[in-house]
């Protein structure tokens, strides 16, 4: 009979427990705590050597600040500032009283559902749990029948998103419009979806200037090259204006798409589109809409999801993509050729 062995928590679980113990210790004190007292209060610290404790504590401080926890460094003694102390101000940490209107709650729930299908599922769920803990009641019935779609297919999305949230410099290989591969070092400012593509706005460290990068041109996985909270994002940042200027400078072309959309359907498409210039031969109960896109693939996905409520009139490339997707769905369900 095999001898059973007991194992401790995984490294990730141990780290989570340590951070939780640290937060509890820092929250439940009116006076800043010294490193020595924190080492006594957190079991992982107490079991470590002095050198290991110092390294661990420095990493944990950065981790808490990256998570948005207001960790303050203050003098322990008002008359002597030779030894810093640490605490978390409960007033800054706690969620203030929130009073949302019903339509605002509906939008919050819808946004979280959209991100739940993408790469921000975890943070979206955390935000909703925080609202639930604050006693906010969401009305799910108000958005019944709506299914938001938000896709983040670029492999670089998650590491870049994390760097944006933590204000951490990164480096990556980037293939520009010329096709050349160049190493870029940047301080990420924001991620924006425009015309079906994701764009990173950032400060380019090598060129010492603002720059815009298309995520689908990032090759490989971006690497961190700085510490969290290492820079500030400009308060007057207009990411969309930067992206539009960059698209014009790069000579990117948008494609005009013409669709027939059933009345009362495809609300998301309608909001982004304009009425078609030619109203001839539009079937009763339908509208002809036009919109400009930089990439047809995301729109093909959206049109396919709309099913019989949206028909592609132009361009032919989009119609072929939608037809191909529908054939793939039919084949996956055992259907014949479309």
| pLDDT band per the 50, 70, 90 thresholds, residue 139 | very low
- For residue 148, pLDDT beyond 50: no
- For residue 99, pLDDT beyond 70: no
pLDDT digits (tens, 9 = 90+) for 277-288: 777 788 889 999
Which strand (E) or helix (H) includes residue 289? strand 286-293
Which of 60-64, 201-205, 302-306, 331-335 shows the highest mean pLDDT?
201-205
Token reading at 49: 């050597």
CA distance 285 to 330: 27
Mean pLDDT of 305-315: 89
- For residue 323, pLDDT beyond 80: yes
| pLDDT band per the 50, 70, 90 thresholds, residue 204 | very high
> What are the residues whose beta carbons fall under 8 Å from the beta carbon of 70, sequence distance 6 or more?
88, 89, 92, 93
Mean pLDDT of 94-123: 57
User: Does 315 sit behind a cis peptide bond, omega within 30 degrees of 0 on the bond before it?
Assistant: yes
> Which backbone phi and psi does 205 adopt, to 5 degrees?
-70, -35
- Provide the pLDDT for residue 137: 47
* Distances, alpha carbon 91 to alpha carbons 27, 63, 71, 88, 100, in Å: 10, 20, 12, 9, 21
- For residue 123, pLDDT beyond 80: no
| pLDDT band per the 50, 70, 90 thresholds, residue 218 | very high
- Provide the pLDDT for residue 136: 46
CATH architecture of 14-93: Orthogonal Bundle (1.10)
For the chain, what percent of residues have pLDDT higher than 90? 20
Fold classification of 157-243 is SH3 type barrels. (2.30.30)
For the chain, what percent of residues have pLDDT higher than 70? 72
Instruction: Report helix, strand or coil for 64.
Output: helix
| pLDDT band per the 50, 70, 90 thresholds, residue 142 | very low
**What is the model's pTM?**
0.42
- Provide the pLDDT for residue 268: 76
State the DSSP string of 72-107. Answer: EEEEEETTEEEEEEEEE-HHHHSPPP----HHHHHH
Give the helix ranges, DSSP H, for the chain: 11-27, 35-41, 43-46, 50-66, 90-93, 102-116, 121-133, 157-166, 239-249, 267-272, 296-306, 316-332
**What is the CA angle 13-8-65, rounded to 5?**
25
Which of 10-19, 173-182, 224-233, 322-331 shows the highest mean pLDDT?
224-233
| pLDDT band per the 50, 70, 90 thresholds, residue 235 | confident
Tell me if 53 sits within 8 A of 59, measured CB to CB: no
Q: What is the largest CA-CA distance in the chain?
A: 83
Report the chain's mean pLDDT, rounded to a whole number.
78
Mean pLDDT of 169-187: 89
Instruction: Report helix, strand or coil for 286.
Output: strand
Instruction: Report helix, strand or coil for 124.
Output: helix
- Provide the pLDDT for residue 226: 83
- Provide the pLDDT for residue 273: 82
- Provide the pLDDT for residue 140: 46
- Indicate the DSSP class of residue 33: B
State the DSSP string of 2-29. Answer: PPP------HHHHHHHHHHHHHHHHHS-
- Provide the pLDDT for residue 97: 62
pLDDT digits (tens, 9 = 90+) for 20-54: 889 888 888 888 889 999 999 898 899 999 999 99
Domain range list for the chain: 14-93, 102-143, 157-243, 255-332
CA distance 88 to 254: 49
């Amino acid at each position: 009979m095999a001898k059973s062995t007991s194992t401790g928590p995984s490294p990730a679980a141990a780290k989570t427990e340590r951070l939780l113990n640290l937060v509890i210790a820092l929250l439940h004190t009116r006076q800043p705590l010294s490193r020595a007292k924190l080492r006594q209060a957190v079991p992982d610290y107490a079991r470590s050597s002095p050198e290991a404790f110092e390294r661990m504590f420095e990493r944990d401080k950065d981790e808490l600040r990256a998570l948005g926890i207001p960790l303050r460094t203050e003098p322990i003694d008002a008359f002597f500032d030779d030894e810093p102390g640490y605490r978390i101000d409960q007033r800054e940490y706690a969620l203030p009283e929130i009073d949302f209107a019903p339509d605002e709650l509906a939008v919050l729930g819808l946004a979280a559902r959209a991100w739940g299908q993408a790469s921000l599922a975890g943070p979206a769920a955390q935000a909703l749990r925080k609202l639930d803990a604050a006693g906010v009641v969401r009305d799910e019935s108000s958005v019944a029948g709506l299914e938001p779609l938000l896709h983040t297919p670029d492999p670089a999305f998650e590491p870049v998103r994390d760097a944006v949230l933590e204000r951490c410099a990164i480096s990556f290989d980037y293939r520009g419009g010329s096709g050349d591969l160049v190493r870029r070092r940047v301080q990420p400012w924001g991620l924006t979806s425009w015309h079906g593509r994701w764009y990173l706005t950032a400060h380019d460290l090598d060129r010492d200037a603002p720059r815009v990068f298309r995520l689908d041109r990032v090759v490989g996985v971006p690497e961190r090259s700085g510490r969290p909270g290492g820079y500030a994002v400009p308060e007057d940042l207009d990411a969309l204006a930067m992206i539009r200027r960059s698209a014009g400078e790069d000579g990117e072309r948008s494609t005009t798409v013409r669709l027939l959309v059933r009345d009362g359907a495809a609300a998301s498409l309608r909001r982004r589109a304009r009425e078609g210039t030619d109203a001839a031969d539009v079937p009763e109960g339908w509208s002809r809409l036009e919109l400009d896109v930089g990439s047809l693939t995301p729109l093909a996905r959206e049109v396919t999801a709309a099913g019989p409520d949206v028909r592609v009139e132009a361009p032919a490339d989009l119609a072929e993509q939608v037809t191909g997707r529908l054939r793939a769905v039919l084949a996956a369900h055992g259907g014949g050729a479309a």
